Structure 1
Amino acid sequence: MSHLNLLMIGSSTGGLKVLEVLFPRLPVLNAAVVIVQHITPLVDKSFVTSLQRVSVMPVSLAQEGDSLQHGKVLLAPGGVHLYLVNNQKIHLAAGERVNSVCPSIDVSMLSVTPGRGGKMVGVILTGMGRDGADGIVHMKKCGSVTIAQDQKTSVIYGMPKAAAETGSIDFVLPIERIAAKLREMFG
């Protein structure tokens, strides 16, 4: 199981709209998919339902102790931080807001450990603020390919811009091209 491929996606304002463009374009990926969307506990279940409608991969709300599996999508629940344990399991914990949000993309991405043979990709999509910028720098250092959404297809270009400004982004792409890049890497 040490060769797990991992796709971490961070999104905020406009995230559902953008993910509903991305997911219909993705096959079952040869990667475990973790989405950290700035979301409240009241909205997270309906968010999962919306994604289930457009995704060929099963989508569920992450739960404590879940194992990451190729071809499965886990969404960080609202109101708690999601950590990866050895890039294999999910740990959920209450905590202070980071970058004024909980769940925080940075918290999740900073918990990634350098790949042990698996491919890793970090993606920052539409959103306000700079959550995900520190996380994407860390993921790049861990050997990940890093992608930020372009300004034209972002609802709000705060987070992808902050990520791009770190100098740690490999590709700045419109959402359709992000789908193509992910198919190429994990198809």
Structure 2
Amino acid sequence: MSARNLVVIGVSTGGPLTLKALFRELPALDAAFVVVLHITPQMDYRIAQGLDAVASMPVTLAEDQEFLRSGRIYLAPGGFHLRLNGNQRVVLCEGPRVNYVQPAADVAMLSLTRQLKGKLVGIVLTGMGKDGAEGIRHIKRLGGVTMAQDQQSSTIYGMPKAAADTGAVDFVLPPQKIAAKLKEILDPL
């Protein structure tokens, strides 16, 4: 089933543990989840496997030209930027690093377009730097719901702080409360 609802998550340092804490709390939801974690190609498959072990939705590495499906979690592979064509189709591309990283959350988030149907959610979790801040601003402008991880639960409060500092974040919460908010916004499968 193609995805009407879309959740895009940007995360870096401390990401795998934070993502496990988040996905462990979530039932299968009627949305496609795209996770942009700053990782190397050597680590991406292992991290996807680790998340798949705890998540109630299947976790796979996103593949070029793949159409997003509801109830699935897609991890951007290391060494590529991930863009979404029409909020539905994965486009993997090489190119210069953005915010010193590849994949970059901003690249994925800034590729999004206004949803005609369904919900759009942008989340920035723990990490160094400011990747995701421009993306969160863009998602808010599109009418999406935006969240950032709180300082207390972040390994490094760089990315979530940069996102919150834009003034475009609706909710600043720890991972368990982000999960609760997602359950409120999205229907179960």
The alignment's TM-score, normalised by the length of structure 2, stands at 0.97
Query: What's the CA shift for 1:46?
Result: 0.2
The count of aligned residue pairs is: 187
Query: What's the CA shift for 1:18?
Result: 0.4
Query: What's the CA shift for 1:175?
Result: 1.1
1:32 aligned onto 2:32? yes
**Whole-angstrom distance in 1 between the partners of 2:148 and 2:26:** 17
Match of 1:141 in 2: 141
CA contact (8 A) 1:3 1:117 kept: no
SS at the partner of 2:92? strand
Which consecutive segments of 4 or more residues in structure 1 shift more than 3 A? none
Match of 1:59 in 2: 59
Q: Deviations over 1:110-139 (max 9, x none)?
A: 000011111010000000000000010001
SS at the partner of 1:117? coil
SS at the partner of 1:148? strand
CA contact (8 A) 1:145 1:170 kept: yes
Match of 2:96 in 1: 96
CA contact (8 A) 2:124 2:148 kept: yes
Query: What's the CA shift for 1:3?
Result: 7.1
1:163 aligned onto 2:160? no
Q: Match for 1:163: what amino acid?
A: A
SS at the partner of 2:9? strand
Unaligned runs of 5+ in 1: none
Q: Match for 1:35: what amino acid?
A: V
Match of 1:116 in 2: 116
Larger deviation, residues 52-61 vs 1-10: 1-10
The alignment's TM-score, normalised by the length of structure 1, stands at 0.98
CA contact (8 A) 1:3 1:116 kept: no
Query: What's the CA shift for 1:71?
Result: 0.2
CA contact (8 A) 1:127 1:158 kept: yes
1:125 aligned onto 2:125? yes
Unaligned runs of 5+ in 2: none
Q: Percent identity?
A: 55
After superposition, the CA RMSD in angstroms is 1.1
SS at the partner of 1:78? coil
